[in-house]
């Protein structure tokens, strides 16, 4: 309800009451009342119309969200496995419900407002909405998804179809813009404009989109396109002051650039390469970015026929270990060198559900060590939640620990607790090492800043030194869910991609027998495109393995 509508009605009523003692004495004056009453009725009708429109908006919103919640509560994890659904849920709770609150606040629905105010304490924050938007952009980049594909929800491996509106696309673009991420700003503003051009109804206008888009392409150095977009904006709104000023500025720069080009017969500043309005993706801090993301898409895997012939499957009894003599485990080679194996039927469905049940209350955002301070902190390159489980938490943890010990032939006495991780929307862990590196080993191409590298190695070494158990000699990784799309474990150094399969586990050594780190084992958890990825892992340490895995005589033994 617009407050001024009701105020106007009340003012008119007050005016009539104030002067009514004077009107009967003059018919001429009373004729004024006819027109006042007509105006009053019109004001009242306008108030009623706006109130009905407001209630109609609330009803439409309630119907839409009711349909969504009916669908989402039927299969929460499956529903949120679709990254568009996850993003839109965060966006609704952080942005859309606030808009609804403002709409309802115009009425006296105190009970609903009180409830909504209470519930908002548990809603996602603006930071969550930004994080969800970045997750969608990460999926967009890693799996080379066109914004139109994401907007239409046409993602592999999901039964859910969830689309992004022009308003949603505009919101994505704004988030990217405020992060100074102009590459994604252009992509999502263009998508919003495309949907508006196709006739989609939206709260935002083409003028608003063009305002952001024109200035963003200017920031990217594309003066010609900035001029074209600004002119289009002014055709729609000739009184747009900022656009008018921008156009004059852009045209002046473009004229200067053209003059210099003619004078020097060469361009002093090259406009960014663009194809169909799409600019080149900027380079970032990760040297093996292209290789890593290609492997996540299943491209560039170096498993050739010759190497394939060296891979076998077998029954593994852990050198006649009592737990495996009567029930040997199925073992498959995933890679020849470094040797990576997959074990089948390692965890039962019942064990997996119990582990997840124990972990859920303890899940916290996964952290990494800040290379400068050594303090554990969250980072964009590790997006998941994790929990640590000890043997005394439940008998199933003790049983699983003993099984991993039997399979690997390594002792769990010096191993770390069982770490359980859940990767949600766009969840990932970019290329990293599981073992700690030496401070003086600074010749890695994958490391950028030498000081940061040194400090990172130093804090890693000290972290394991405090444990008193030596370095991480091996990694045992349990897959506790199938992932509909994405979520592979990849090794960029030698081009391997291992896909999650519920109930299986993969195992590899991080150190050579000499104790030197095997830098080939740098690996990553690819972003989850569709689904919810659950894993648990056990890191075995050097101490206690002296007779179980004797040292070698050379560095690469």
Taking the C-alpha atoms of residue 403 and residue 419, their distance in angstroms, rounded to an integer, is 16
Nearest to residue 519, comparing CAs of 494, 537, 546, 542? 494
Taking the C-alpha atoms of residue 126 and residue 129, their distance in angstroms, rounded to an integer, is 5
pLDDT of residue 108: 54
Beta pairing, strands 528-530 & 485-486: antiparallel
Taking the C-alpha atoms of residue 323 and residue 346, their distance in angstroms, rounded to an integer, is 12
Beta bridge partners of 385: 365, 422
Taking the C-alpha atoms of residue 420 and residue 398, their distance in angstroms, rounded to an integer, is 14
**Global model pTM greater than 0.75:** yes
Taking the C-alpha atoms of residue 144 and residue 277, their distance in angstroms, rounded to an integer, is 16
Residues 455, 458, 464: CA angle, nearest 5 degrees: 140
Rounded to the nearest angstrom, the gap between the alpha carbon of residue 433 and the centroid of all alpha carbons in its chain is 22
Residue with the two structure tokens 């929460």: 76
C-alpha torsion angle, residues 142, 341, 368, 131 (rounded to 10): 30
pLDDT of residue 370: 61
Helix (H) or strand (E) holding 476: strand 472-479
Cβ atoms of 352 and 436 within 8 Å: the answer is: no
Q: Which two tokens stand for residue 352?
A: 């997996």
Helix, strand or coil, per DSSP, at residue 328: coil
Residues with Cβ within 8 Å of 247's Cβ and at least 6 positions away in sequence, in order, are 227, 230, 231, 234
> Dihedrals φ, ψ of 488, to 5°?
-70, 160
Taking the C-alpha atoms of residue 171 and residue 164, their distance in angstroms, rounded to an integer, is 10
* Peptide bond before residue 338 is cis, with ω within 30 degrees of 0: yes
pLDDT of residue 433: 94
Q: Which two tokens stand for residue 136?
A: 């969608």
pLDDT of residue 261: 77
Beta pairing, strands 505-509 & 340-344: antiparallel
Q: Is the Cα torsion angle 78, 79, 80, 83 positive or negative in sign? A: positive
> Dihedrals φ, ψ of 196, to 5°?
-70, -40
> Consecutive sets of 10 residues in the chain, 557 residues long: mean pLDDT of each?
47 46 44 71 79 88 91 91 92 90 71 72 84 93 95 86 94 96 97 97 97 97 95 97 96 88 63 70 92 96 92 94 94 97 98 96 78 64 87 97 98 97 89 81 45 48 74 97 96 97 98 94 96 95 94 75
Q: What is the 3 state secondary structure string of 500-528?
A: CCCCCEEEEECECCCCCECHHHCEEECCE
2, with CB counted inside 10 A (0-12, 13-18, 19+), is middle
Taking the C-alpha atoms of residue 87 and residue 80, their distance in angstroms, rounded to an integer, is 9
Q: What is the 3 state secondary structure string of 105-164?
A: CCCCCHHHHHHHHHHHCCCCCHHHHHHHHHHHHHHHHHCCCCHHHHHCCCCCCCCCCCCC
pLDDT of residue 18: 44
Cβ atoms of 492 and 485 within 8 Å: the answer is: no
pLDDT of residue 4: 46
pLDDT of residue 461: 54
């Amino acid at each position: 309800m617009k407050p001024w509508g009701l105020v106007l009605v009340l003012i008119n009523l007050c005016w009539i009451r104030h002067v009514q003692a004077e009107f009967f004495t003059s018919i001429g004056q009373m004729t004024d009342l006819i027109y006042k009453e007509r105006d009053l009725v019109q004001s009242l009708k306008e108030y009623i119309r706006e109130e009905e429109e407001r209630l109609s908006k609330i009803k439409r919103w309630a119907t839409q969200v009711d349909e969504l919640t009916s669908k989402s509560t039927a299969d929460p994890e499956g529903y949120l496995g679709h990254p568009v659904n996850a993003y839109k849920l965060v966006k609704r709770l952080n942005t859309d419900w606030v808009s609804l609150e403002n709409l309802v606040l115009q009425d006296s629905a105190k009970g609903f407002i009180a409830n909504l105010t209470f519930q908002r304490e548990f809603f996602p924050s603006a930071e969550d909405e930004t994080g969800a938007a970045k997750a969608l952009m990460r999926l967009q980049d890693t799996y080379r998804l066109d914004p139109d594909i994401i907007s239409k929800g046409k993602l592999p491996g999901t039964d859910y179809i969830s689309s992004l509106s022009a308003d949603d696309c505009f919101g994505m673009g704004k988030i990217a813009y405020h992060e100074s991420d102009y590459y994604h700003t252009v992509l999502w503003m263009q998508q919003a404009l495309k949907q508006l051009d196709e006739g989609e109804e939206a709260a935002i206008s083409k003028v608003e989109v063009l305002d952001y888009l024109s200035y963003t392409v200017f920031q990217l150095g594309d003066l010609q396109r900035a001029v074209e977009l600004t002119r289009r904006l002014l055709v729609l709104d000739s009184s747009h002051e900022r656009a008018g000023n921008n156009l004059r500025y852009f045209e002046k720069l473009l004229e200067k650039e053209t003059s210099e080009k003619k004078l020097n017969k060469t361009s002093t500043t090259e406009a960014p390469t663009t194809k169909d309005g799409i600019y080149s993706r900027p380079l970032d801090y990760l040297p093996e970015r292209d290789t890593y993301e290609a492997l996540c898409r299943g491209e560039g895997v170096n498993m050739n026929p010759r190497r394939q012939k060296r891979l076998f499957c077998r029954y593994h009894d852990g050198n006649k270990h009592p737990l495996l003599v009567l029930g040997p485990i199925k073992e498959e080679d995933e890679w020849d060198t470094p040797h990576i194996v997959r074990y089948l039927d390692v965890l039962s469905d019942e064990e997996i559900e119990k582990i997840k049940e124990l972990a859920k209350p303890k899940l916290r955002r996964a952290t990494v060590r800040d290379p400068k301070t050594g303090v554990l902190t969250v980072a964009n390159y590790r997006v998941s939640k994790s929990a640590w489980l000890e043997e005394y938490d439940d008998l199933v943890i003790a049983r699983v620990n003993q099984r991993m010990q039997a399979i690997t032939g390594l002792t769990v006495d010096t191993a770390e607790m069982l770490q359980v991780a859940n990767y949600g929307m766009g969840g990932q862990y970019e290329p990293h090492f599981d073992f700690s590196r030496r401070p003086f080993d600074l010749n890695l191409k994958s490391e950028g800043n030498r000081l940061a590298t040194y400090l990172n190695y130093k804090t890693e070494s000290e972290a394991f030194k405090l444990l008193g158990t030596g370095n991480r000699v091996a990694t045992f990784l349990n897959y506790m869910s199938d992932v509909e799309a994405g979520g592979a474990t990849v090794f960029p150094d030698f081009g391997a991609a291992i896909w999650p399969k519920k109930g299986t586990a993969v195992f590899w050594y991080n150190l050579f027998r000499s104790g030197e780190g095997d830098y080939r084992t740098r690996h990553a958890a690819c972003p989850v495109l569709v689904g919810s990825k659950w894993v648990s892992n056990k890191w075995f340490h050097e101490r206690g393995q002296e007779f179980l895995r004797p040292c070698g005589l050379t560095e690469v033994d």
